Amino acid sequence: MYKAIILPLAKEDIREAARWYQKQQIDLGKRFTAEVREKVDFIRQNPQAFNIRHDGVRTAVLNVFPFMVHFF
């Protein structure tokens, strides 16, 4: 399994999105954060499951929320 390092700006983007979703509906921010964690865990186990998009960077689309995780 690979190690995941989430950059500080990415962490802030996740927190900001979770706060926004939380304001829209109770527990929606928690669901967003949980989905990000699940996707990162899946990426750690299966990084080759995603196509390279640009300059060696791969992307994984979240299942419910309109966000992508970019990684290499």
pLDDT in tens, 34-49: 999 999 999 999 999 9
Q: Is residue 3 part of a domain?
A: no
pLDDT band per the 50, 70, 90 thresholds, residue 72 = very high
Q: What is the mean pLDDT of residues 43-71?
A: 97
- Is the Cβ–Cβ distance between 68 and 62 less than 8 Å? yes
Q: What is the pTM of this model?
A: 0.92
Q: Is residue 45 part of a domain?
A: yes
- Rounded-to-integer distance, Cα 49 and Cα 8, Å: 25
Q: Is residue 16 part of a domain?
A: yes
25 alpha-carbon distance from chain centroid:
20
Q: Is residue 54 part of a domain?
A: yes
Q: What is the mean pLDDT of residues 20-25?
A: 98
Alpha-helix residue ranges (DSSP H) falling in 1-72: 8-24, 28-45
Q: Which domain holds residue 59?
A: 8-71
Number of domains in the chain: 1
CA nearest neighbour of 33 among 15, 47, 45, 9: 15
- Number of Cβ within 10 Å of residue 69's Cβ equals 19
